[in-house]
């Protein structure tokens, strides 16, 4: 039994310690370096990247796809678990909402980094054409962003009110900020009903929105004639990949926050075990879709497709492909079947590897295809037949990843990482047991 | 460091030249309002390209016809349906088409809009030379995916690009199965003989590359700027072997400059086909198979460069500055 004060102390906003400061500083350095590189890209043009007329999309796009995939986590870990009434979601739902929001914000930003004429961004609205998958993205990304934000915000209201009351005397400035954000929350019957219904509605919405978001992301590729992209398997393949990337990112973040904020009492081995099982399901489904994407086409692949598969399986991209497939997917899928690999530390290690694998996976989806056009690559410098990101691209990409981590870090710093209000409610329920609670 | 040099010069020009540019633009605007009457006796004060103010008889000033094409640039030339036929039997990789295209469209990047591929369909089939340009598809994949209608399909068959609208997402390039689109990854290093303001005044999707715009896509435009003058595309006239036939499907006529033939007859007689017909893009460019070739394939190898399609200018000398 924890007191209200103790819960606030454990879960509420907490100043960065030395390690936290160093971490934030490190992220800021990466962001500033990326910003400088981006400004240079604006001045010189995208000639500073290693993209050229054949590899016309590179790490910016694969990084974008990664962010979109990772943002899917709120649809599973928040909404799906809520609708199935899985109580074990409680200690990490807020972190899932935070990860999801950070990633969709960064997805919106990274896609603009790839635009060679960001000064003409308004054309996307002024001259929008509905048949282009990019226009679909222009619609879905802000929508998903808004719903993600609300899905984080509405459940937060009681917690913000708790903090408002907590800081009432000691810190008037914080009281004012949290008070303003709490929207006069007083736990009245009407507020509770309204909030409950809103959150339920948002949870209902985020699932189809997430599915649409991931599908549109796949359609960016599968609406072209390109070998390796022109696949009706692509949208479900992307959705299942998003479950893997999202849960991997969530588990990694949950573990780090648990350790840094010493929350072992709140986020227990039981929760990791449950998360691990969900993760295992996601991994197995993704293995299935990978079989459909890479193994079955071997039987009927046309010449161009065979060449494409060959470069992945035994050619230029084979080392990366096998590392991503075996270490980043197959091995985690097998290991997480066993209970001892669902213990916090083991699961964290696996999740980090899976997230890194997921990032490279997107790289392998985007680049090799572009090196296999229908007509042979001729009449261009030899260097155009290969692609590896330039220093500018690495700096800018690192900065976007750092920005996502910074958003997560700051939200964890200023918001209760687990709902204090819900924990208090649970404790009350435990004292006066209700019969309907399972 | 050597890269910096031209940039600085351009910046200097931008710094100093804007006043001149403004004056010339005002002068140009005044000019376009003048009626072209021979030796009118009236004079007009104009500024020359080197900044001198001169008095000119208005009769000496030419009216700019091509500033207004007389048809809607997005709709096309009424009643026309432009097509091309490329006779592979006559191609010996002379590269004159490519050079001419590069010159007239001021192509300065590393990837020409018109390329001649060294093709071999199967191990036992002999290799042949295959020029490609934009296929101006009737079901263009590039147009479908463009989010801002920057690349568009016209009623006269052309697929063109509005470089003032393109946002540089390169989706059209990903969508095109013919790899025909090129991107301006940096500020194009184009040189124009005429006044740069004149170039900007003439800037239109109907003359791609004049000028090219940084961060946007370029490609073959089928030379509508030639068609309105009643002239053939640059590649057609440049080819020494008459490989390219250009014409109008509605009239069922194509010409390579030397001979004018019925399109349907030519396609029938020589078994014409289109590239990647099975993709369903419906290209406006037809090919005639490389049967009974005028020259052995090997002769073309001399001029073949696998890694270059745009000749780089020699280091500019002082005399070049006309």
Select the residue of B168, B171, B279 nearest A225 (Cβ to Cβ). B279
DSSP string, B11-66: HHHHHHHHHHHHHHHHHHHHHHHS---TT-S-EEEEE-TTS-EEEEEGGGSPP-GG
What does the pLDDT average to over A386-413?
Answer: 98
The string of pLDDT tens digits covering residues A326-335 is 999 999 999 9
Per-residue confidence (pLDDT) for residue B218, from 0 to 100? 97
Domains of chain B: 4-63 (no CATH), 82-301 (3.30.70.20)
Please give the share of chain B, as a percent, with pLDDT higher than 70. Answer: 80
Per-residue confidence (pLDDT) for residue A417, from 0 to 100? 95
Per-residue confidence (pLDDT) for residue A2, from 0 to 100? 84
Sort B149 into a burial class: Cβ within 10 Å, 0-12 / 13-18 / 19+: middle
Strands B182-183 and B217-218: antiparallel
What does the pLDDT average to over A83-98?
Answer: 95
Q: What residue in A sits closest to B174 (Cα-Cα)?
A: A224
**φ, ψ at A371 (rounded to 5°):** -85, 0
Rg, C-alpha atoms of chain A? 23
Q: Which of A328, A323, A388 is nearest to A356 (CA)?
A: A328
What does the pLDDT average to over A410-430?
Answer: 93
DSSP string, A115-178: -S-GGGTTHHHHT--TTSHHHHHHHHHHHHHHHHHHHHHGGGHHHHHHHHHHTTTT-HHHHHHH
Q: What is the ipTM of this complex?
A: 0.93
CA distances to A242, B29, B74 from B16, rounded to whole Å, are: 54, 21, 36
Location of structure tokens 């090219």: B212
Q: What residue in A sits closest to B215 (Cα-Cα)?
A: A116
Q: Which of A376, A21, A218, A242 is nearest to B132 (CA)?
A: A376
The string of pLDDT tens digits covering residues B82-123 is 999 999 999 999 999 999 999 999 999 999 999 999 999 999
Contacts of B216 (CB under 8 A, 6+ apart): A116, A117, B150, B161, B163, B166, B168, B183, B184
> Nearest CA to CA, how far is B192 from chain A (Å)?
21
Cβ–Cβ under 8 Å, residues A60 and A421: no
Query: Does the pLDDT value for residue A72 go beyond 60?
Result: yes
Q: Helices (DSSP H) in chain B: which residue ranges?
A: 4-33, 96-104, 141-145, 171-175, 196-202, 224-227, 234-238, 263-269, 297-301
Q: What residue in A sits closest to B4 (Cα-Cα)?
A: A44
What does the pLDDT average to over B161-170?
Answer: 97
Rg, C-alpha atoms of chain B? 22
Q: What's the CATH class of domain A13-422?
A: mainly alpha
The string of pLDDT tens digits covering residues B39-95 is 666 777 776 667 677 777 776 666 555 556 689 999 999 999 999 999 999 999 999
**φ, ψ at B129 (rounded to 5°):** -100, 135
Calpha distance B18→A288 (Å, rounded): 62
The string of pLDDT tens digits covering residues A213-254 is 999 999 999 999 999 999 999 999 999 999 999 999 999 999
Sort A36 into a burial class: Cβ within 10 Å, 0-12 / 13-18 / 19+: middle
Largest interatomic CA distance in chain B:
74
Strand partners, B285: B84
Select the residue of A45, A226, A379 nearest B214 (Cβ to Cβ). A45
Calpha distance A289→A351 (Å, rounded): 19
**A contact residues 111-140, partner B, Cβ 8 Å cutoff:** 114-117, 120-121, 123-124, 126-129, 131-135, 138
> What residue spans define the domains of chain A?
13-422
**φ, ψ at A363 (rounded to 5°):** -60, -40
Largest interatomic CA distance in chain A:
79
Strand partners, B82: B248
Tokens of B234: 């640059």
Per-residue confidence (pLDDT) for residue B3, from 0 to 100? 44
The angle formed by the CA atoms of residues B67, B70 and B76, to the nearest 5 degrees, is: 110
Chain A residues whose beta carbon lies within 8 Å of the beta carbon of residue B169: 114-116, 134
The string of pLDDT tens digits covering residues A19-30 is 999 999 999 999
Location of structure tokens 């969508």: B175
Confidence of residue B199 (pLDDT cuts 50, 70, 90): confident
């Amino acid at each position: 039994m924890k007191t209200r004060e103790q819960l606030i102390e454990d879960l509420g906003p907490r100043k960065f310690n030395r390690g936290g400061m160093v971490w934030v500083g490190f992220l800021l350095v990466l962001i500033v370096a990326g910003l400088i590189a981006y400004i240079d890209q604006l001045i010189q043009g995208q000639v500073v990247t290693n993209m050229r007329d054949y590899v016309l999309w590179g790490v910016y796009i694969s990084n974008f796809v990664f962010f979109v995939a990772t943002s899917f986590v709120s649809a599973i870990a928040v909404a799906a678990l809520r609708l199935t009434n899985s109580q074990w979601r409680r200690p990490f739902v807020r972190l899932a909402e935070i990860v999801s929001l950070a990633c969709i914000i960064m997805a919106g930003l990274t896609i603009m980094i790839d635009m060679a004429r960001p000064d003409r961004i308004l054309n996307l609205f002024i001259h929008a054409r509905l048949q282009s998958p990019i226009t679909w993205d222009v619609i879905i990304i802000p929508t998903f962003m808004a719903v993600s934000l609300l899905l984080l915000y509405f459940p937060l209201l009681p917690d913000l009110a708790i903090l408002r009351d907590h800081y009432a005397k000691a810190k008037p400035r914080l009281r004012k900020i949290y008070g303003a954000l709490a929207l006069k929350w007083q736990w009245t019957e009407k507020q509770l009903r309204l909030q409950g219904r809103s959150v339920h509605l948002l949870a209902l919405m985020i699932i189809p929105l997430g599915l649409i978001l991931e599908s549109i992301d796949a359609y960016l590729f599968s609406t072209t004639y390109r070998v390796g992209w022109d696949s009706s398997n692509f949208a479900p393949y992307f959705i299942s990949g998003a479950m893997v990337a999202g849960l991997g990112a969530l588990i990694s973040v949950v573990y780090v926050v648990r350790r840094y904020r010493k929350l072992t009492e709140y986020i227990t081995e039981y929760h990791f075990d449950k998360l691990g099982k969900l993760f295992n399901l996601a991994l197995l489904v993704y293995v299935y879709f990978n079989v459909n994407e890479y193994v079955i086409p071997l039987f009927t692949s046309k010449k161009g497709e065979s060449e494409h598969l060959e470069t992945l399986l035994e050619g230029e991209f084979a080392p990366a492909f096998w590392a991503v497939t075996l270490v980043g997917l197959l091995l985690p899928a097998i290991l997480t079947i066993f209970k001892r690999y669902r213990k916090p530390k083991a699961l964290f290690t696996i999740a980090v590897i899976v997230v890194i694998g997921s990032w490279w996976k997107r790289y392998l989806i985007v680049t090799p295809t572009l090196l296999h056009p229908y007509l042979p690559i001729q009449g261009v410098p030899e260097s155009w037949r290969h692609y590896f990101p330039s220093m500018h691209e690495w700096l800018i990409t690192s900065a976007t990843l750092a920005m996502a981590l910074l958003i997560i870090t700051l939200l964890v710093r200023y918001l209760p990482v687990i709902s204090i209000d819900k924990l208090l409610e649970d404790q009350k329920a435990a004292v006066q047991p209700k019969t309907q609670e399972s | 460091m050597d890269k910096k040099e031209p940039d600085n010069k351009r910046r200097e020009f931008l710094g100093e030249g804007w006043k001149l540019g403004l004056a010339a633009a005002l002068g140009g605007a005044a000019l376009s309002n003048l009626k072209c009457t021979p030796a009118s006796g009236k004079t007009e004060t104009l500024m020359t390209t080197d900044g001198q103010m001169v008095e000119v008889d208005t009769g000496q000033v030419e009216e700019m016809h091509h500033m207004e094409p007389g048809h809607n640039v997005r709709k096309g030339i009424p009643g026309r349906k432009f097509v091309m036929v490329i006779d592979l039997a006559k191609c010996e990789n002379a590269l004159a088409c490519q050079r001419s295209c590069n010159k007239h469209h001021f192509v300065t990047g590393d990837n020409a809009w018109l390329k001649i591929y060294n093709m071999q369909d199967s191990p036992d089939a002999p290799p042949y030379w295959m020029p490609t340009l934009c296929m101006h598809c009737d079901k263009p994949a590039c147009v479908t995916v463009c989010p801002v209608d920057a690349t568009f399909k016209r009623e006269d068959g052309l697929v063109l690009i509005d470089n003032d609208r393109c946002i540089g997402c390169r989706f059209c390039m990903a969508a095109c199965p013919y790899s025909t689109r090129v991107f301006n990854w940096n500020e194009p290093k184009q040189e124009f003989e005429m006044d740069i303001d004149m170039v900007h005044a003439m800037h239109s999707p109907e003359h791609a590359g004049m000028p090219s715009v940084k961060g946007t896509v370029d490609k073959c435009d089928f030379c509508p700027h030639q068609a309105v003058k009643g002239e053939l595309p640059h590649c057609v006239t440049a080819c020494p072997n008459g490989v390219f036939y250009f014409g109008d499907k509605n009239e069922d006529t194509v010409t390579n400059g030397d001979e004018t033939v019925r399109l349907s007859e030519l396609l029938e007689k020589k078994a014409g086909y289109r590239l990647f017909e099975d993709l369903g893009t419906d290209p406006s460019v037809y090919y005639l198979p490389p049967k009974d070739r005028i020259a052995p394939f090997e002769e073309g190898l001399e001029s073949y460069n696998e890694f270059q399609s745009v000749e780089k200018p020699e280091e500019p000398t002082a005399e070049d500055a006309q």
